[in-house]
Chains A and B, each alone.
Chain A
Amino acid sequence: MPGSIENEDVPMEDVHSDDEVEPTIGEDGNWVSWKDRIRVLTGATETAASFQFEGEDHTLGNALRYIIMKNPDVEFCGYSIPHPSESKMNLRIQTYDGVSVYSVLEKGLNDLIDLCDVVTEKFTAARDAYGKQ
């Protein structure tokens, strides 16, 4: 236990990072949330759904929209920030026949992660090459 300024015991929730929290069920029972990070808005079908992300903004919204629109199974993808003073971001995905929006969203996230790896790899190589000049 690290030393404390005010000589008090540190509560356990302060010691843990916020990443590993168990998922909870929403009050209206309509959606299940992971620490309120993501939920599906009502009216969703297998091929058309709106997701609401807690604590996300244009940064992830627009990047995710781009990468999902690159998927040929996607008929429509768009995002919006319903209100500027609420940190919520809505993402709408509609797919062509028989393709699940959930798998499309997951593929989008995976593609974005791969993209980041490639950018890091290329950037590091270019920087190191420039440093050697």
Chain B
Amino acid sequence: MVKPTQKQLEERRKLGINQETVTHVTSTDFPGHWPGEDHSWDLDYFRNNLKVDFHSNDSRDASFSVIGLDASIANAFRRIMIAEIPTIAIDQVFMYHNTSIIQDEVLASRIGLIPFKGKKSGLQWMQWYKKSTEEDPSHSTPSDFNIIMLKLDIKCEWQEGGLQRAVAGETDPDKLYINHNVYAKHFTWEPVGAQEEMFGDEPIAPVHPDILIAKMRPGQRIYLKCHAIKGIGADHAKFSPVATASYRLMPTIDINSPIVGADAKKFMRCFPKGVIALQSVTAQDVREHPEELQGKEGEVKAVVDNPMKDTVSRECLRHEEFKDKVKLGRLRDHFIFRVESTGQWESDALFLESVRVLKTKAERVKRGLNAMMR
């Protein structure tokens, strides 16, 4: 078996970005692609090669690099984070009273989009609520383990002396009315059965208390009850636990022959701040590139500082003087993930959950395969 050198492996990781085209896009780490090389699945090799680097880790916004994965696997994690991790959201709204100017169906669809949180173990204890469809009219019986009941009962009234102030010319609603803005915090949770015990110290509540749902004027009233259920983003985007979960590939910038003087400053301006830095040309540089750098010791030259900040705009390729001196690319197996949670989950926990879900999928198919083979 031939073993590829470290240098070869580094070169193969890169995909090329030209002015109008991309090259070497697909991965080649398969048995039979490179003559004499192995490339069959090797867990120890994978473990030694896999690297995770955190860039930031807040509960609502995490950014991290996962290096050493194939795009098909990284994409599976991303897809699962968006569409297959469960949260709860309001699914049915029962209108008892709505004299506000916002129509029932518009109000109901706004209410569905409000993210709700609650104790993690309680949400795990909750089971799926099967909805009826046209083909299959059967549905689950609403119960404490599959439905969360929420109530919104709010009435807009005049403040003490508000009417007189309005007559006198006051127009600020905050000084005239009570409950003229309906917010997510006005929802009250009505625990049923074992729910009180299961959610305990972390009751069901909106993630953001100040989401504006409707505006009202004195005499108007909204009274409705809702059923929230556990669901996944594949069914409806309101169940998706992330605002976005995305990745991009690590950009690479290779300066093949030195860029010095005024050109270096121009080159730096082709990139976002922090990507290219300026250094002075050393005697060592002159020895390495005698043709280009003869007598230029002490002048500034462009060096790559932080390629992660690059947006790969390809601006530098539009200039004749840089075209042949620089090679842009990306690392095919370096994924810079960005996960923005909507608040029901911690962002880093979302990634771990996506890995767990992929594993569960594989296990389920394996069980199915074993049953089929019996």
Q: Which residues of A contact B (CB under 8 A)?
A: 2-6, 8, 10-11, 14, 17-19, 23, 31-35, 37-40, 53, 56-60, 62-67, 69-72, 74, 102, 105-106, 109-120, 122-127, 130-131
Contacts and interface: CB of A to CB of B under 8 A. Distances in A.
A123 B352 contact: yes
Interface of B: 29-32, 38-41, 43, 46-47, 50-54, 57, 64, 66, 69-70, 72-73, 75-76, 79-80, 83-84, 127-128, 130, 140-147, 149, 192-194, 348, 351-352, 355-356, 358-359, 361-369, 371-374
Contact of A126 (B53, B149, B194, B359): B53
A81 B75 CA distance: 16
Nearest to B64: A126
B144 A122 contact: no
B73 to A, nearest CB: 5
Given A72-B31, A119-B50, A122-B50, A112 B358 contact: yes
A102 to B, nearest CB: 6
Contacts of B46: 115, 118
A4 B52 CA distance: 46
B277 to A, nearest CB: 25
A28 to B, nearest CB: 15
A2 B145 contact: yes
Given A58-B76, A109-B366, A113-B366, 14 more contacts: A2-B193, A3-B144, A5-B192, A34-B372, A70-B30, A70-B39, A72-B38, A120-B352, A122-B50, A122-B52, A123-B348, A126-B51, A126-B64, A127-B64
A108 to B, nearest CB: 9
Contact of B141 (A14, A60, A122, A124): A14
A70 B366 contact: no
Contacts of B84: 59
7 contacts: A5-B147, A32-B372, A71-B40, A111-B41, A115-B73, A122-B50, A126-B64
Contact of B194 (A3, A64, A105, A113): A3
Contact of B32 (A8, A39, A72, A102): A72
B246 to A, nearest CB: 16
B72 A63 contact: yes
A67 to B, nearest CB: 6
A104 to B, nearest CB: 11
Nearest to B51: A122
A3 B41 contact: no
Contacts of B192: 3, 5
A84 to B, nearest CB: 13
A116 B366 contact: no
B144 A117 contact: no
B41 A71 contact: yes
Nearest to B55: A130
A9 to B, nearest CB: 8
A63 B38 CA distance: 20
Given A8-B141, A126-B52, A116 B31 contact: no
B352 A60 contact: no
A58 B79 contact: yes
Contacts of A70: 29-31, 39-41
Contact of A59 (B41, B352, B358, B373): B358
A3 B193 contact: yes
B343 to A, nearest CB: 19
B373 A102 contact: yes
A117 B51 contact: no
Contacts of A72: 31-32, 38, 40
B356 A38 contact: no
